[in-house]
Structure 1
Amino acid sequence: MMRDPGVGVYVPATYVLMDSKQQDAYWNALNYVIVQTGRLLEPATVTCDFEHGLMNAITEQFPLVKIVGCLFHWKQALRRKMVELRIARPQISAVLRPGVIDVLTIIPVDQIADKGIRFVRAQMDETGNKTKWDAFWRYFRKTWMTSYGADLWNVNSMTESGIDLQNRTTTR
């Protein structure tokens, strides 16, 4: 996506249909886009799915870029884990409502593991599924706090810097 200054919104710049999720395939696709744009691309941030191959290729092509994981794909991965753990569907829907688990993406990173998760759990009804929710939160800490790292999906530092993360203009 690129910002169109004429209308003040972000618009898709290029679509690439991929038949591989290998890092070299992503690298080649990015290289093609770079060449086709006259090597003028210098993104400050790139928002993408949590594909390791894609993230590695982006970092190789744009060493100074800040990669931000896509909120939709983050919540989709969390939902899949909840379903896999057989957590009750109404509880899954409730925790995925705006202002519940997605709050973890905007609070300071150092508050996620303690205050953030405690806040989310206080908003939930874990009745009949406490053991499953405990398993989910172990997965969350291991996968999203340790393996990926919260800096990949938490945008608090960007919002505090005044960076517009939505497809709109801000009134600051």
Structure 2
Amino acid sequence: MYALFTQVIALMRVIMRSRSEQAYLELFSFIKQLAPNLQPVRIHCDFERATINALRRTFPSSDIVGCLWHFGVCVGRNAVKKQLSQLASDNDLIHTFIRCICGAPLLPATLIEEGVEEIWTEVVASGWGETLEPLFSYFRREWLPRIQELSVFSHPERTNNCSESDNRCLANFIPQNHPNVWTLIAGMVQLEHISWSDKLTLQRGKDVQFVGRWKTVANDKRKVRLSELLNHDQITPGRFLHEASWVNQGALNHGMKLDTKNDSDSDSD
């Protein structure tokens, strides 16, 4: 994906029959053959281990960063597995504690563990330690070893939702699931035509569709303000999670199959 002002343009689409690490490695190696000087500073992707391993082997100097939205969804789904979804829906305090975990990537990598453990101290003090211990253990086991790729603290993009949105746009032009190759190509042609029209519109200095929702702008301002307070030691990492994790509430609710009620980055970045 290529960012042009506030718009994102797909430079390549790949049809894959396998999602193994070897398959991704062959794909990324082919891209390197097409663009031998390609050395991306930062690569956004979801947390699929096969993808990340192949990216690290192909672009060893690039910063591999995960997706805030996908992380929140993962935590929400794990909460469902641990039978916490209904409890979180009925109990605002439980929902807040789980939401704070979902805000962990917003912290610098060096403060993620401290921030989550500060929340855990609050959980124990509130009397909900036994109930939430499995979820916090899941975070410590699965995510603490990956804090470098988890943190989006200093990155202008927090999610890879631009590529997800592009996939949804393509799906709108394809009238069926599992289309044949001709139907797929026809959908790509239609989407390419719209992308080219958008490019011409941008070159004329005009806006294409919308630049961003007001919620996205508000979330950005909130995160900047909280980051400044954190950098000046005016709030603790745990307090930062309480205040900043609203940004990812939509992802959590999506993962827990709850109605989204507040601000989130669900369709931003």
Does TM, scored on the shorter chain, surpass 0.5? yes
Map Cα deviations across residues 110-141 of structure 1 (whole Å, 9 max, x no partner): 33223334348859xx88x6423111101101
Q: Does 1:48 align with 2:62?
A: no
Q: CA deviation at 1:68?
A: 0.5
Partner of 1:154: 151
Determine helix, strand or coil for the equivalent of 2:8: strand
Partner of 1:116: 116
Structure 1's unaligned 5+ residue stretches are: none
Partner of 2:80: 83
Greater relative contact order, per chain length (Cα 8 Å cut-off, separation 6+) = 2
User: 2: CA distance between counterparts of 1:164 and 1:78?
Assistant: 23
Which range moves more in the overlay, 103-112 or 59-68? 103-112
Q: How many residues align?
A: 158
Q: Is the 1:105–1:153 Cα contact (8 Å) retained in structure 2? A: yes
Q: TM-score when scaled to structure 2? A: 0.49
Distance change (3 Å), C-alpha of 1:17 and 1:110: same
Q: Is the 1:104–1:117 Cα contact (8 Å) retained in structure 2? A: no
Q: Which of 29, 32, 35 in structure 1 is aligned with 2:30? A: 32
Distance change (3 Å), C-alpha of 1:72 and 1:115: closer
Structure 2's unaligned 5+ residue stretches are: 163-210, 212-219, 225-269
Q: CA deviation at 1:84?
A: 0.8
The letter of the residue matching 1:164 is: P
CA RMSD of aligned residues (A): 3.3
Tell me which protein shows more helix as a share of its residues: 2
Distance change (3 Å), C-alpha of 1:26 and 1:96: farther
Q: Is the 2:68–2:152 Cα contact (8 Å) retained in structure 1? A: no
Partner of 2:140: 141
Which range moves more in the overlay, 15-24 or 112-121? 112-121
Q: CA deviation at 1:31?
A: 2.2
Map Cα deviations across residues 10-57 of structure 1 (whole Å, 9 max, x no partner): 332222232212111001111233333x32422111111222221111
User: 1: CA distance between counterparts of 2:19 and 2:132?
Assistant: 31
Determine helix, strand or coil for the equivalent of 2:61: coil
Determine helix, strand or coil for the equivalent of 2:44: strand
* Bigger Rg, which one: 2
User: 2: CA distance between counterparts of 1:152 and 1:8?
Assistant: 24
The letter of the residue matching 1:31 is: S
User: 1: CA distance between counterparts of 2:130 and 2:6?
Assistant: 48
Q: Is the 2:20–2:50 Cα contact (8 Å) retained in structure 1? A: yes
Distance change (3 Å), C-alpha of 1:131 and 1:18: farther
Q: CA deviation at 1:8?
A: 4.5
Distance change (3 Å), C-alpha of 1:32 and 1:89: farther
Q: Percent identity?
A: 20
Partner of 2:65: 68
Distance change (3 Å), C-alpha of 1:120 and 1:100: farther
